[in-house]
Amino acid sequence: MIRVISYNLRKNHASGELAALSENFALDVLCLQECDTTDLPADLGMLRLADSTKRNRLGLAVYYRADRFSARETRTFALKKSLHDRVLKPAHERLIGTRLVDEECGRELVVASFHAAPLTALNSLRREQIRAAHERLLSLGHGLPTLMVGDYNYPLFTTNLTERVNETGYDLSLSDRRTYTRYKFFKGHFDFATSIGLGIDGVETLDRGASDHMPILVTASYLENAVVEI
């Protein structure tokens, strides 16, 4: 079983909660959005920083449990920009992925932190970003089980998104409760997971902290005879 938390820190406001999340939930991986990458510690308890984005005002990062995993490679990726990105620069990187070796199970997988374009953009752009993100992650290990978590900024029409994602071989998993409640007209599931080659045992919305997003805890397991085809 693999335990992964994804958390949008709201421009780093919730950074003081990371140590407690790492300790209280026995995490294997922690994926962050909207973090200050110049202020990230190298270690959070048992978690080690794989890497973070360097050219984005809303940073992304991936931590992994160092006594279970080793990080083989981490890459950051640019995705198609929205008008919002072009005006409020820099916004070059919206995806960071890490290829991990699970020493406990003798398996490899790819875990990624994703941050889609904001609500000022069209859903069609976010769908293109999601499709492109899945495609980019192939460069870290074609055929490996892959879990992409983060802020998808897609609270409405998720049934349509699920169908589109399923067409590419991926599964989309929403959490048990909505993850964003700040604005009256934009409440819903903003933060969720897409995966391939993994069984998603559960996605739990955790209690709200200093961010306008609630963290989500994804519990996943390897599918023994899964054949990952893209």
Least Cα distance to 10 among 230, 209, 227, 154 occurs for 209
In a domain, 229, yes or no: no
- Supply the pLDDT for residue 88: 53
Least Cα distance to 216 among 19, 11, 31, 13 occurs for 31
In a domain, 39, yes or no: yes
The CATH number linked to 163 is 3.60.10.10
The rounded distance, in Å, linking the Cα atoms of 77 and 112 is 11
Q: Domain range spanning residue 60? A: 2-222
Give the number of other Cβ atoms within 10 Å of residue 121's Cβ: 19
- Supply the pLDDT for residue 52: 96
Q: In what order do the strands lie in the sheet with 29-35?
A: 43-44, 47-52, 59-65, 29-35, 2-8, 216-222, 198-205
Express each pLDDT in 109-139 by its tens digit.
999 999 998 878 788 999 999 999 999 999 9
CA dist list (Å): 158 to 117, 189, 193: 16, 9, 12
In a domain, 198, yes or no: yes
In a domain, 230, yes or no: no
In a domain, 21, yes or no: yes
- Supply the pLDDT for residue 91: 62
The rounded distance, in Å, linking the Cα atoms of 79 and 130 is 9
Q: Which structure tokens are listed for 179? A: 């993850």
Q: How many residues does the chain have?
A: 230
In a domain, 228, yes or no: no
| Secondary structure of residue 215 in the 3-state scheme | coil
CA dist list (Å): 221 to 10, 64, 138, 230: 29, 16, 20, 20
The residue ranges of the chain whose pLDDT is under 70 are: 82-91, 182-187, 225-230
Model-wide pTM > 0.85? yes
- Supply the pLDDT for residue 122: 87
Number of domains the chain is built from = 1
| Secondary structure of residue 3 in the 3-state scheme | strand
In a domain, 83, yes or no: yes
- Supply the pLDDT for residue 57: 78
In a domain, 227, yes or no: no
| Cis omega (within 30 of 0) for bond into 90 | yes
